[in-house]
Amino acid sequence: MTIALIPILPLLAAGVTALMKRGQRVPAATLVIAAQAASTVLSLLAFLQTLGAEGAHGEVARRYFNFPWLSIGSETLSLGLLLDPLGAGMVLMVSFVSLLIFIYSVGYMKEDANFTRFFCFLSLFSAAMLGVVLSNSLLLTFICWELVGLASYLLIGFWFHKPEAAAAAKKAFITTRIGDMGFLLGMLWLYSASGTLLFYDHGHGCLEQAALTAMATKTACVGLAVSNCIALLIFCGAAGKSGQFPLHVWLPDAMEGPTPVSALIHAATMVAAGVYLVARMFPIFSATGTVSVALTTVAWVGAFTALFAALIAVAQTDIKRILAYSTVSQLGFMMLALGVGSVTAAMVHLIAHAFFKALLFLGAGSVIHGVHEEQDIRNMGGLRKYMPVTFVTYAIGMMALCGVPFFFSGFWSKDEILHVAHQWPVSQLPFFMAVAAAFLTAFYMTRQMCYVFAGSYRGHAHPHESPAVMTVPLGILAGAAVLMSIPATPAWPWFHGYHNGEPITFDFARLFEHDFLTIAGLSVVIVAAGIGIGYFLYRQFAAVDPLARIWSSGFRTLANRFYVDEFYHATVVRALGLLGCLAAWIDRWILSGIVRLVGALSLAASSLSDLFDRFWINLGFDSICGGLRDGGQLASSWESGRVQGYLRFLSVGAVLLLIILGWLLT
Amino acid sequence: MTLQILLAISAILFAFGLAATLSRSNSIMILIGIELMLGAANLNFISFWRFSENPSDLVGIMFAIFSIAVAAAEAAVGLAIIILVHRRLKSVEADDANNLKG
């Protein structure tokens, strides 16, 4: 199977690059980019293979191969790789976007001393993500998932000499680890409930009918089916990686990494992994019907996150942080789509979002590069004149994200999500939350555009356009953000047919159906309102944000991100600190008390023997003692205080013992 | 894959670990060397278990899992000690921590 090469090539490249010297910049970058390009080509071939393939029994075509990895007693754990429409579209997007980001990084990281190390980590990141996408076993998914976590830790903390970057890396690692705990528990439970971790295995996999029925009919606790419990636990992991409330706190801080890393985390890898995991495990989430407890939870969490993060984004002033909160919000949209039962809508938005969000981040990187590492949008302005290419591509990305109608992918994919949310039988509230979030998206992106590109320059540097190695990937991504709108329109529902293995027909009349027109009309109105109000408020720069003038306490709450970080600091961090103090107290007073008691007892005993010595034995022994002291000094000179010296004696002794033992035995 | 090959790999791993522990002066490197030696010991457990008369009773793998857990705890304690030493001496060189010399 050639698809195994897709993750293996970048992994090998990462391994080889790790052994290179610091100065070997050109070979490192060439190798990593070549490996990534090769795996992009292989992904494209794999994708083309899935296009014409027909599945059996009206299902989508799935090709997989499994192999035993570990056999313990009578149990065998298998790993496997899987190629189906869900994964094939994703793998093409991941490898292609990663490739563009790698090329861009050559320009962005040019002056960094640790250029080689950076490319090694990038390659590892992409390899791990490709592994998550192609895995046919939850175990392999988990392994690659943790590798994604590791690579993100290394990359967010790439400039670890900055304390904020080191702290952000730690925060990302620990926050996602909390979610991963749930993932691990869910995986163990799934194994005990279904006896396998393979997704598809000729009718025996955990996502196939037999196992699903067994899990859906058994009840675990408080009336929840086993499948729902497992799904909720796995969703914990997905929420951690995809930055869903309440585990979203790491994502904005992850901006401390170099900008290409932010683009990679926010578009192609990492955050997409959570959404993809839920999409992959969707049969378990929906084992008890499409409004199961697990899916309802996913929908509510998604809708809430979409609105919550969009509100925070309105009041941020760091160019990358605005985009970070916008990612959190868009991930909320995807989770909402999954929760209301439409995997296709979520995946279309995921892939469309990956292109335009990578574009926006790389554009932001180009801006930051152009104004000499300034990230505060209040110190920018007027960059349209200085950076025309960046401006045009950024504007395309911004319009795609806002969902400006007809020629931008975001419009169609977001519309689809609003559409499925509208049809959700449980409640209409998530739909209205999503509409509000869509309005805010248009608003905060317009605010950002006005601050960065309009007016006149307010900083002190000399802004300049970025080199071609950075602007060409921007152009390609801008093209993709526009072209992605073609397969997502309801007139030609290519994605829908492709994902579900249905024939794809072109029917222009679908654009004029009543329920589509209502939602589309509504979304055009809210986008126009968002952009209009945003432009009206921010068309002229003001030192105080116009919103802060209107309602300052509310704006401050938003600017402080609803105080979630402070809340965690006051509860979780403080509780752990108290636990640490308690442990230190036990250590100091109880354990150490015992030690001191023993010490005092032996002191008492020795002072007794001291008396005994002094008044009884001390006669004539002095010379012997002198000899002993000299001997002791000689012996103590061996005690060099060097741990390794002791260890050397120890190993020599062990070897001698071995030789004697061997001699005795023969 | 025979038992001899596995034991040879394990011996080589152990020798690497011992060499690192004896020759590196950075205490983090020493810790890594110790981990290598533990890995070699685990490999021995697993390979003797695999080639034992009755590999289905899981004794070897249980032993290895135990020792992995102990190694994790050891690494945590070791790193904590290194952090404390660094706070006090501003150095992680093993030779600088010689307050107990005779």
ipTM: 0.75
The whole-angstrom separation of Cα A411 and Cα A413 is 6
Strand ranges (E), A184-239: 219-221, 224-225
Interacting residues of A360 by C-beta distance below 8 A, sequence separation 6+ = A323, A394, A397, A398, A401
From A74, A635, A648, residue closest to B56, measured CB to CB: A74
CB contacts, 8 Å: B11 with chain A: none
- Summarize the confidence of residues A511-526 as an average pLDDT: 76
| Cβ atoms of A484 and A409 closer than 8 Å | yes
Say if the Cβ atoms of B22 and A72 lie within 8 Å.
no
Share of chain A above pLDDT 90, in %: 6
pLDDT at B9: 94
- All residues of chain B having their beta carbon less than 8 Å from the beta carbon of residue A639 are 100-102
A contact residues 642-661, partner B, Cβ 8 Å cutoff: 642-644, 647-648, 651
Single pTM value for the model:
0.83
In angstroms, the separation between the Cα of residue B61 and the nearest Cα of chain A is 8
pLDDT in tens, A311-331: 888 888 888 888 888 888 989
- The CA-atom distances, in angstroms, between A106 and each of A29, A59, A383, A471 are 7, 43, 23, 12
H/E run at residue A650 = helix A643-665
Confidence class for position A422, pLDDT limits 50, 70, 90: confident
Report the pLDDT averaged over residues B83-97: 85
How far, in Å, are A78, A372, B9 from residue B3 at the CA level?
A: 24, 60, 10
Of A317-321, A382-386, A502-506, A567-571, the range with the lowest mean pLDDT is A502-506
The answer to whether A193 and A234 are in contact (CB under 8 A) is no
**Domains of chain B: which residue ranges?**
3-94
Residue A491's pLDDT is 62
d(CA A626, CA A629): 5
**What are φ and ψ of residue A389, in 5° steps?**
-65, -45
Whose tokens are 């985009």? That residue is: A323
Phi and psi of A79, rounded to 5°? -115, 165
pLDDT in tens, A110-137: 878 888 888 899 999 999 999 999 888 8
d(CA A401, CA A355) in angstroms, rounded, equals: 10
Residues of A in contact with B30 (CB under 8 A): 643-644
In eight-state DSSP terms, residue A137 is: B
Whole-angstrom distance, CA of residue A131 vs CA of residue A8: 8
Q: Which residue from B minimizes the CA distance to A633?
A: B102
Tell me whether residue A277 is exposed, middle or buried, using C-beta atoms within 10 angstroms of its C-beta: 0 to 12, 13 to 18, 19 or more: buried
Question: With 90 as the cut, is the pLDDT of residue A656 above it?
Answer: yes
A648 to chain B: which residues are within 8 Å by CB?
22
Condensed to tens digits (0 to 9), the pLDDT of residues A423-463 reads 888 788 888 888 888 888 888 888 888 888 877 777 777 77
Q: What is the pLDDT of residue A601?
A: 92
Q: Do A639 and B100 touch (CB under 8 A)?
A: yes
Q: So what's the pLDDT on residue A263?
A: 83
Give the type of residue at A665: L
B99 and chain A in contact, CB less than 8 A: yes
Nearest to B6 by CA among B44, B61, B55, B63: B44
Residue A394's closest CA among A362, A421, A432, A442?
A: A362
A2 close to A46: Cβ distance less than 8 angstroms: yes
Q: How far apart (Å, rounded) are the C-alpha atoms in residues A459 and A383?
A: 10
CATH topology of domain B3-94: Helix Hairpins (1.10.287)
Taking an 8 Å cut-off on Cβ atoms, the answer to whether A644 and B18 are in contact is no
CB contact under 8 A, A640 and B98: yes
Q: What is the 3-state secondary structure (H, E, C) of A322-334?
A: HHHHHHHHHHHHH
Q: Do A636 and B102 touch (CB under 8 A)?
A: yes
Residue type (1 letter), A460: H
Taking an 8 Å cut-off on Cβ atoms, the answer to whether B101 and A642 are in contact is yes
Token digits of residue A434: 């999503």
What pLDDT is recorded for position B11?
Answer: 94
Task: Read off the tokens for A213.
Answer: 């029925």
- In degrees and rounded to multiples of 5, residue A587 shows phi and psi of -60, -45
Q: Which residues of A touch B21 (CB under 8 A)?
A: 644, 647
Phi, psi of A225 (to 5 degrees): -70, 155
- Which member of B18, B58, B102 has the closest CB to residue A651? B18
| Cα–Cα separations (whole angstroms), residue A321 to A61, A310, A394 | 41, 12, 16
Alpha-carbon distance of A417 to A410, in angstroms, equals 11
A648 and B22 within 8 Å at the Cβ level: the answer is yes
